[in-house]
């Protein structure tokens, strides 16, 4: 039986941790890619991870490289490449820089792994998912962004901490964009089927919602750099669902074609992930207040896409396919 192949683009904290989780779960062989100037970093981290195999009892081949030819035939490609926003850098500057990077990466992925599913982690996420779709020419089912899995995990963690129960028994749902415009849905949150409102006051639930929204900023404030354990875990959770055709229902940045009243944009929504990538977007009924928050989140996504299109009109003009391959 052929092993699955997972390529991770970007050997920084998030990318290297993606390689770690994927190898430890034995999802397949892993290729860790970075730019030529950082090829030694990619190779060194890959070798270090391989040497953990005998002790952690996993058998996965992990290689580091700067040559996209080594990624050929990948089943899943996780894209973490990009730069963080620096002091004095405008949002437009950050988007312009990271669009160039993700555009180049996506073109290489399409060249060497034309049947892969791409999972985007690079920020600003909603703009990067759009860029990857346009630049790769992949159908929308094989382009998906990781943010919802991370945001829900944070929300579940904070609810469990407040309740004092196992995080394993907490289920929750979030929609919309990553960050301030996310749309938490506490009425869909429960502890082993019991609504969280049976455990917490509305004020406590609201505090958990706000903490989930600011979860990334809280980590940055504490250690001076972006989170990487949980973002990588969310990415590999999605990769596992795709590689194993698990039909997991997970919140992802997926293309909406009428769902939630959204047309033509990648937005955080519940999805069924399987071998075909995003096999279905789960459209649920929202209250008026929830729909208003969702609409606001979509407007923020539209603003990001407009910046991409204005900066890179060649992407706007590309007719990328919609739907399944």
Q: Specify whether the CB–CB gap between 305 and 265 falls below 8 A.
A: yes
How many of the other CB atoms lie within 10 Å of CB of 324? Answer: 12
Q: What percent of the chain has pLDDT over 90?
A: 85
Q: Is 172 helix (H, G, I), strand (E, B) or coil?
A: coil
Residue of 182, 109, 192 lying closest to 149 (CA atoms): 182
Peptide bond into 201 cis (omega under 30): no
- Residues catalogued as catalytic: 178
Q: Specify whether the CB–CB gap between 9 and 80 falls below 8 A.
A: yes
Q: Per-domain residue ranges for the chain?
A: 5-145, 148-325
pLDDT of residue 93: 85
pLDDT of residue 1: 63
pLDDT of residue 138: 97
pLDDT in tens, 259-294: 999 999 999 999 999 999 999 999 999 999 999 999
CA distances from 150 to 88, 127, 228, 232, 233 (A): 27, 18, 10, 9, 8
pLDDT in tens, 92-148: 788 999 999 999 999 999 999 999 999 999 989 999 999 999 999 999 999 999 999
Segment 248-256 shows an average pLDDT of 96
Q: What percent of the chain has pLDDT over 70?
A: 99
Name the residue with higher pLDDT: 63 or 181. Answer: 63
CATH number of 5-145: 3.40.50.720
Q: Is 95 exposed, middle or buried (0-12, 13-18, 19+ CB in 10 A)?
A: buried
Q: Is 11 helix (H, G, I), strand (E, B) or coil?
A: coil
DSSP for 263-285? EEEEEEEEEEEETTEEEEE----
- Read off the pTM: 0.96
Name the residue with higher pLDDT: 167 or 225. Answer: 167
Q: How far apart are CA 220 and CA 44, in angstroms?
A: 26
pLDDT in tens, 158-196: 999 999 999 999 999 999 987 778 898 999 999 999 999
Residue 325 has pLDDT above 90, yes or no: no
Q: How far apart are CA 61 and CA 9, in angstroms?
A: 16
The CATH label, of 3.30.479.30, 3.90.110.10, 3.30.70.100, 1.20.120.1200, for the domain at 148-325 is 3.90.110.10
């Amino acid at each position: 039986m052929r092993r699955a192949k997972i390529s991770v683009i970007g050997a920084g904290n998030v990318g290297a941790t993606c390689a770690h989780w994927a190898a430890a779960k034995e999802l397949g062989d892993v290729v860790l890619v970075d730019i030529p100037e950082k090829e030694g970093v990619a190779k060194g981290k890959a070798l270090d991870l391989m040497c953990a195999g005998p002790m952690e009892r996993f058998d996965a081949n992990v290689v580091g490289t700067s040559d996209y030819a080594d990624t050929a035939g990948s089943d899943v490609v996780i894209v973490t490449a990009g730069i963080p926003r620096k002091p004095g850098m405008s949002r437009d500057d950050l988007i312009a820089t990271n669009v160039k990077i993700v555009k180049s990466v996506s073109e290489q992925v399409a060249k060497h792994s034309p049947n892969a599913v791409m999972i985007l982690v690079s920020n600003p996420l909603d703009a990067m998912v759009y860029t990857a779709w346009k630049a790769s020419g992949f159908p929308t089912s094989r382009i998906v962004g990781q943010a919802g899995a991370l945001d829900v995990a944070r929300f579940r963690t904070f609810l469990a901490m407040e309740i004092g129960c196992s995080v394993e028994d907490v289920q929750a749902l979030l929609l919309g964009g990553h960050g301030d415009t996310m749309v938490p849905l506490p009425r869909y949150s429960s502890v082993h089927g019991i609504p969280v409102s049976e455990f917490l006051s509305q004020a406590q639930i609201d505090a958990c919602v706000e903490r989930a929204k600011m979860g990334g900023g809280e980590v940055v404030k504490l250690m001076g750099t972006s989170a990487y354990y949980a973002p990588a875990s969310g990415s590999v959770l999605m990769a596992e669902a795709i590689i194993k055709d698990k039909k997991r229902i997970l919140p992802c940045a997926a293309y909406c074609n009428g769902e939630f009243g959204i047309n033509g944009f990648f937005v955080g929504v519940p999805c069924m992930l399987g071998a075909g990538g995003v096999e279905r977007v789960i459209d649920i009924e929202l209250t008026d207040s929830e729909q208003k928050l969702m609409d606001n989140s979509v407007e923020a996504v539209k603003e990001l896409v407009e910046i991409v299109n204005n900066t890179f009109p060649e992407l706007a003009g590309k007719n990328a396919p919609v739907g399944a391959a």
